[in-house]
Copies of this chain bind each other. A is one copy, B any other.
Amino acid sequence: MLKGNAVVGQGGGPTAVINASLCGVIEACREYQQVTHCLGMRFGIEGFLEEQLLDLGAESPETVARLKTTPSSALGSCRYKLQDSDFPRLLQILRRHEIRFFFYIGGNDTMDTIHRLEAYCRQQGFEMVGVGIPKTVDNDLFGTDHTPGFGSAARYVAISVKQAGLLARDMRRVDQFVIFQTVGRSAGWLAAASALAKTADEDAPHIILLPERPFDRERFLADVKRVHERYGWCSVVCGEGITYPDGTPVSAAQVSDRFSNIEFGAMGGTSAAMMLHRMIGNEFGWRGEFQVCESLQMCAADRVSDTDRKEAYACGRRAVELVVQGMSGKMVSIQRTSNSPYQWTLETAALSEVAVRAKPMPDPFIHLDGNFVTQAFLDYARPLVGPLPDYVRLGAKPLDSCYSAKSPRIA
Q: Which residues of A contact B (CB under 8 A)?
A: 10, 13-14, 27, 30-31, 37, 39-40, 43, 46, 52-61, 63, 66-67, 69-80, 97, 159-160, 163-164, 166-174, 178, 257-260, 262-265, 267-270, 274, 277-278, 281-282, 289-296, 298-303, 389, 391-399, 403-404, 406-411
Q: Is the CB of A265 within 8 A of B269?
A: no
Cα-based distance from A229 to B268 in the complex (angstroms): 24
List B contacts of A403 (CB < 8 A).
37, 55, 57
Q: Is the CB of A78 within 8 A of B31?
A: no
Given contacts A13-B171, A77-B170, contact A263 B260 (CB under 8 A): yes
Give the shortest distance, in Å, between A379 (CB) and chain B (any CB).
Answer: 24
List B contacts of A295 (CB < 8 A).
164, 167-168, 171, 178, 289, 291
Q: Is the CB of B300 within 8 A of A163?
A: yes
Give the shortest distance, in Å, between A209 (CB) and chain B (any CB).
Answer: 17
Q: Is the CB of A293 within 8 A of B291?
A: yes
Contact partner of A39 (CB less than 8 A), chosen from B77, B178, B391, B399, is B399
Give the shortest distance, in Å, between A67 (CB) and chain B (any CB).
Answer: 6
Cα-based distance from A13 to B372 in the complex (angstroms): 29
Q: Is the CB of B30 within 8 A of A63?
A: no
Q: Determine how many copies of this chain the complex contains.
A: 2
List B contacts of A300 (CB < 8 A).
159, 163
Q: Is the CB of A258 within 8 A of B262?
A: no
Which of A57, A262, A263 has the most chain B CB within a 10 Å cutoff? A57
Name 16 A/B residue pairs within 8 A (Cβ), A-sorted. Answer: A55-B397, A57-B406, A58-B396, A59-B396, A60-B396, A70-B391, A70-B392, A72-B167, A72-B171, A73-B171, A74-B392, A77-B171, A167-B299, A259-B263, A292-B293, A302-B389
**A407 nearest CB neighbor, chain B only:** B57
**A22 nearest CB neighbor, chain B only:** B394
List B contacts of A46 (CB < 8 A).
173
5 new A-B contacts at CB < 8 Å, known A13-B171, A76-B173, A292-B292: A30-B410, A57-B404, A57-B407, A63-B396, A289-B294
Q: Is the CB of B166 within 8 A of A71?
A: yes
Give the shortest distance, in Å, between A30 (CB) and chain B (any CB).
Answer: 5
Give the shortest distance, in Å, between A152 (CB) and chain B (any CB).
Answer: 12
Cα-based distance from A274 to B282 in the complex (angstroms): 20
Given contacts A166-B71, A166-B299, A293-B291, contact A399 B55 (CB under 8 A): yes
